[in-house]
Amino acid sequence: MPTRRSICISVTPEVDRFVAVQVASGRYQTASEVFRAGLRLLERERNTASPSAKARPRQAPSANQRNRRDIPGELPGRARRLSQDGG
């Protein structure tokens, strides 16, 4: 089994509730499993991107470019896609 490293992240209350709902649903046993599933989805998206998109590093938009409250709204859709893909 790969070595695991613990990290500490800060999430919005909306993301915290979303993760709690995912764990309560029984699909995931821990918050870590929810985050790992999301990271696998991001990795899968990256791996299926066009070669030119893979070559360009994605730069996160600045806080001025994107309303941070949009992020929790993306998580349920990504989680649905992940569960539909069997991930």
Residue-range domain boundaries for the chain: 10-47
Which tens digits make up the pLDDT trace of 38-80?
999 999 999 998 766 666 666 666 655 554 445 555 666 666 6
* Cα Rg of the chain, angstroms: 14
What DSSP letter does each residue of 12-31 carry, written as one string? -HHHHHHHHHHHHTTS-SSH
Can you give the pLDDT at residue 72?
55
Mean pLDDT (the chain) is 80
More confidently predicted of 57 and 29: 29
The span from the CA of 84 to the CA of 41, in Å, is: 11
Can you give the pLDDT at residue 2?
78
Q: Residues of 17-43 as b/e, b for ≥16 C-beta within 10 angstroms?
A: ebbeebbeeeebeeeeebbebbeebee
